[in-house]
A and B are shown apart, each in its own frame.
Chain A
Amino acid sequence: NAGVTQTPKFRVLKTGQSMTLLCAQDMNHEYMYWYRQDPGMGLRLIHYSVGEGTTAKGEVPDGYNVSRLKKQNFLLGLESAAPSQTSVYFCASRPMTGVGEAFFGQGTRLTVV
């Protein structure tokens, strides 16, 4: 049982390049989330999904797109990377029912130069 796996763990992009971050969970969770965390700050929600085929904006969605074509995967895309998107990105998932806790991946450290 791997839990929540993020790919890649590290990446350096040039300004204007595009990339996709992959989050995969094997717990059959309905809800999935993408957060970013900047130095000295808490986590800020970028986008989230409450089920396959659904996505919604979080607190800081600009510059990002997401897709949830399969229940177990949640993709975060950067179409044209900017230095302001240099951050650590965390994915999380949780079950829809009850008071289940969220499980987080180990993060993707992205640097845009």
Chain B
Amino acid sequence: DAKTTQPPSMDCAEGRAANLPCNHSTISGNEYVYWYRQIHSQGPQYIIHGLKNNETNEMASLIITEDRKSSTLILPHATLRDTAVYYCIAVNSGYSTLTFGKGTMLLVSP
């Protein structure tokens, strides 16, 4: 699996967009980018994933650069409940294991 690099922490004002970057410069052509988040003391929660096209769902948008070496998770209108650790992971489809790094701690403030 490709190594991913994320900033350790970010701040965002409530109601503003939160843009969380992830670098995956060694990603291979068949590796997907997955995002999970973990709200304090809870189990991780799936957010979104993508291969090369931008993706959007009810929780977030995922923007992947054309060269696929980096991506950005966008929470369009952050709320206090979005305060969590966000993990970016690159894996092949049909992966058997999922390896978590340290992620980005997003703090949404009033």
Chain A residues engaging chain B, CB cutoff 8 angstroms: 4, 31, 33, 35, 41-45, 48, 50, 56, 58-59, 88, 90, 92, 94, 96-99, 101-107
Contact = CB atoms under 8 A, between A and B. Distances in A.
A33 B43 CA distance: 13
A49 B52 CA distance: 29
A101 B34 CA distance: 8
A102 B100 CA distance: 12
Nearest to B89: A102
Interface residues of B, number: 21
Given A101-B34, A101-B49, A106-B43, A43 B94 contact: no
B46 A99 contact: no
Nearest to A41: B102
26 contacts: A4-B43, A31-B96, A33-B98, A35-B100, A42-B102, A42-B103, A44-B100, A45-B97, A56-B96, A59-B99, A90-B43, A92-B43, A92-B98, A96-B94, A97-B94, A98-B93, A98-B94, A99-B49, A99-B93, A101-B46, A101-B49, A102-B36, A102-B46, A103-B46, A104-B43, A106-B42
